[in-house]
A and B are shown apart, each in its own frame.
Chain A
């Protein structure tokens, strides 16, 4: 009899304890329950940082929890990328990655992360690379440049913002596609390269839209050609290389991402949130005021873009025999 009673109570406890397991059907997303950190691989005040700090308060409003930008500069962005890739995949740590920079780091050296370590939330900023000269330059059109370069291979100096940075890669891709040879001169950032250009020490500079919008407006610089898929509204007179018959498309993408293993429902929420933010009028107005070249692409579109970029960069690396350490 005693055993019977004990057996019954154990069975009752087990049955009661099993009830929560039956409640699994309801999938309520308890996220976010606390603040989210977004890692930026460059110092405060830089282009990525500014973009991140533009997006954060808008996301905060949608998610109703603090969204904090954390600067983790170093190793050309690798430290932040690594930290994002290895963060706990619970949706509370996000980070910004870039094409081509995040990809080229993995090709150029043994990186502490891989592109597959990230899942993409959405693209925030995009601006194409372009070639600028001072108005006093002897080159008035890109065709002049190509003609001269064909006759004088390796003589024209083109500045960039750093070895294997996006503009250096854009220059290499440009040379590869058009068949001309430039002399790439490396600087630490676009600003010093522009000083050298304005001082007449180099012939051309490859940079991005945001770097020179104001300078073109103030007639300090002229855009000879852009490497976008269509003409940029800011420079209506500057042709794309594509329309001239050279299919070289290079630009800089700033993308919000999360560690790859972050649960799908959380990612979906973040993707939808970013899409909402990108569509909001207030966001667009503010970005335009600040001169930030925002360009939203959905997660699917962006993932496809990164895949293509990785493919193209791998090919470029092999074709040009670029260093892989």
Chain B
């Protein structure tokens, strides 16, 4: 308790709070801009932490981490372009809401969901971290493989109405995910001799390629001066806010999404994009009106947004208790922690307890800061839609190019982004959904690596994994998921 209070003292100093504020503003900006990922944002701030007090440094990074995951939803909702991988599922219902004139409502849903998700994830970190880290360790390669298989069945629910096209898109994504070094033989697959493809297609490049470029091209093709959406700027209209009744109605959604996010967060190597799709899928499954998903309903925004912020808190569990990062952002965090002389691991809470608590408290405060900035910003963000296309298109393209380049300091990636963009545009013109491709591109490497490790661990007798309880559960869930979505599609179609 004493350590907790000391941690509180460390975090509530003016420099620390100011750092959280700066980090949060930067976070929303970087999160919103397509091409700039939250991992990049955290990495960019690390040099600024040199020479800062640990609590201040951690506050800066926490502000960036929390707010950038939320920030991605802004552009996902308003211009159909997720600012970060975490918002990839938010476009599914977020953009339709904007088209229905409910941009304000969507944005409010996003910020409130992000806040609640972040708080629940951080509470889990604070109170049950040791328990969660034991769960995390139980997730070996076989479990990760089964989780990826289950994740791929989500393709069905994000394929909007055409399951066949969705499966095509998903298989295409899986094909793309095989580009690069094979995990067992190190053979560079599908690289065509180009060393820039040896490590595969970076997610950021794929995201901007498949979302931003087609969006920009669509805007160009529309020849319109501004996006043809009716924005009701009346503050009191229901389209522009989230009523108390709706918030109460969303509570089960928040809880489901946050739990999923926290659990995915504790498993190292899985990450926010998977969590948000998983939460979207589960929301649809438990919903009384699953056919409305994709038309623009608040549950479709609330689920992924609460999940992706809950991943934050979850991802700190393996970082702080085992010294092993649970997400790409926390991997950068680890570097910063080591430079600051903070040694994460089982002894963190006994030898450096005040610092450990100050990290967690920093996350709490960052979430609150994000809430205020987000709520205050909605009225301002909504006006982005009114931006003339002549400004919007170059802005999208510029930041996409910067983001694609920044990942590997590689011009090749920029070219690759445009190439994928043309493919994405062609898909859009043919009503082939993009989300399954992105989902498969993310899950492919995770699942394949896990499968190779499973083959190695079971010495070729892969069926042995079904003596493991978590694998059995995941198998059952997967089979049921496939069964029900086939059934539903027969009924709806």
What are 26 contact pairs spanning A and B, CB under 8 A? A45-B332, A45-B335, A50-B335, A70-B409, A74-B196, A74-B408, A74-B410, A75-B195, A79-B195, A79-B196, A162-B183, A163-B181, A185-B453, A186-B449, A188-B449, A191-B325, A192-B269, A195-B324, A199-B136, A199-B140, A201-B457, A214-B323, A215-B323, A218-B343, A219-B346, A289-B341
9 nearest A-B residue pairs (beta carbon): A201-B140, A199-B137, A75-B198, A45-B335, A163-B186, A185-B456, A75-B195, A218-B347, A218-B345
A235 interfacial by beta-carbon distance below 8 Å: no
Nearest-neighbour CB distance to chain A for B411, whole angstroms, equals: 12
Measured between beta carbons, the chain A residues less than 8 angstroms from B345 are 214-215, 218, 220
Contacting residue for A163 out of B185, B196, B269, CB 8 A: B185
In the complex, what residue of chain B is closest to A110 when comparing beta carbons?
A: B193
Q: Report the separation of the CA atoms of residues A219 and B323 in the bound assembly, to the nearest whole angstrom.
A: 13
Q: Given that A44-B43, A188-B183 are known contacts, is A183 also in contact with B456, CB under 8 Å in the complex?
A: yes
Contacting residue for B46 out of A45, A75, A214, CB 8 A: A45
In the complex, what residue of chain B is closest to A212 when comparing beta carbons?
A: B323
B459 interfacial by beta-carbon distance below 8 Å: yes
Binding site for A on B (CB under 8 A): 43, 46, 136-142, 181-188, 195-196, 198-199, 268-269, 318, 322-325, 331-332, 334-335, 338-339, 341, 343, 345-347, 408-410, 449, 452-453, 456-457, 459
Measured between beta carbons, the chain A residues less than 8 angstroms from B408 are 72-74
Q: Report the separation of the CA atoms of residues A94 and B198 in the bound assembly, to the nearest whole angstrom.
A: 23
Measured between beta carbons, the chain A residues less than 8 angstroms from B449 are 186-188
Nearest-neighbour CB distance to chain A for B406, whole angstroms, equals: 11
Measured between beta carbons, the chain A residues less than 8 angstroms from B332 are 45
A78 interfacial by beta-carbon distance below 8 Å: yes
Q: Taking each of A70, A73, A186, which has the highest tally of chain B beta carbons within 10 Å of its own beta carbon?
A: A186
In the complex, what residue of chain A is closest to B199 when comparing beta carbons?
A: A74
In the complex, what residue of chain A is closest to B43 when comparing beta carbons?
A: A44
A164 interfacial by beta-carbon distance below 8 Å: yes
Q: Report the separation of the CA atoms of residues A325 and B187 in the bound assembly, to the nearest whole angstrom.
A: 8
Measured between beta carbons, the chain B residues less than 8 angstroms from A108 are 186
Q: Report the separation of the CA atoms of residues A291 and B340 in the bound assembly, to the nearest whole angstrom.
A: 12
| Beta-carbon contact of A186 and B322 below 8 Å | no
In the complex, what residue of chain B is closest to A155 when comparing beta carbons?
A: B459
Encoded as 1 (CB less than 8 Å from any B CB) or 0, chain A from 43 to 78 comes to: 011000010000000000000000000111111101
Q: Report the separation of the CA atoms of residues A62 and B44 in the bound assembly, to the nearest whole angstrom.
A: 28
In the complex, what residue of chain B is closest to A79 when comparing beta carbons?
A: B195
In the complex, what residue of chain A is closest to B324 when comparing beta carbons?
A: A191
Binding site for B on A (CB under 8 A): 44-45, 50, 70-76, 78-79, 82, 108-109, 112, 154-155, 157, 162-164, 183-188, 191-192, 194-196, 198-202, 214-215, 218-220, 289-291, 323, 325
Beyond the given A112-B195, A218-B347, please list 7 additional residue pairs across the A-B interface where CB-CB is below 8 A. Answer: A50-B335, A72-B409, A75-B188, A163-B182, A192-B324, A201-B142, A219-B346
Q: Given that A191-B268, A195-B324, A220-B322 are known contacts, is A109 also in contact with B188, CB under 8 Å in the complex?
A: yes
Nearest-neighbour CB distance to chain A for B134, whole angstroms, equals: 9
Nearest-neighbour CB distance to chain B for A142, whole angstroms, equals: 21
| Beta-carbon contact of B181 and A186 below 8 Å | no
Q: Report the separation of the CA atoms of residues A227 and B277 in the bound assembly, to the nearest whole angstrom.
A: 45
| Beta-carbon contact of A154 and B456 below 8 Å | no
Measured between beta carbons, the chain A residues less than 8 angstroms from B453 are 185-187, 196
Q: Report the separation of the CA atoms of residues A194 and B43 in the bound assembly, to the nearest whole angstrom.
A: 24
Q: Given that A195-B318, A195-B322, A196-B453 are known contacts, is A76 also in contact with B339, CB under 8 Å in the complex?
A: no
| Beta-carbon contact of A76 and B181 below 8 Å | yes
| Beta-carbon contact of A76 and B338 below 8 Å | no
In the complex, what residue of chain A is closest to B333 when comparing beta carbons?
A: A45
Measured between beta carbons, the chain B residues less than 8 angstroms from A198 are 137, 322
Q: Report the separation of the CA atoms of residues A78 and B345 in the bound assembly, to the nearest whole angstrom.
A: 33
| Beta-carbon contact of B456 and A214 below 8 Å | no
Measured between beta carbons, the chain B residues less than 8 angstroms from A79 are 195-196, 410
Q: Report the separation of the CA atoms of residues A82 and B195 in the bound assembly, to the nearest whole angstrom.
A: 10
Q: Report the separation of the CA atoms of residues A163 and B183 in the bound assembly, to the nearest whole angstrom.
A: 6
Measured between beta carbons, the chain B residues less than 8 angstroms from A112 are 195
Nearest-neighbour CB distance to chain B for A190, whole angstroms, equals: 9
In the complex, what residue of chain A is closest to B196 when comparing beta carbons?
A: A74
Q: Report the separation of the CA atoms of residues A113 and B320 in the bound assembly, to the nearest whole angstrom.
A: 41
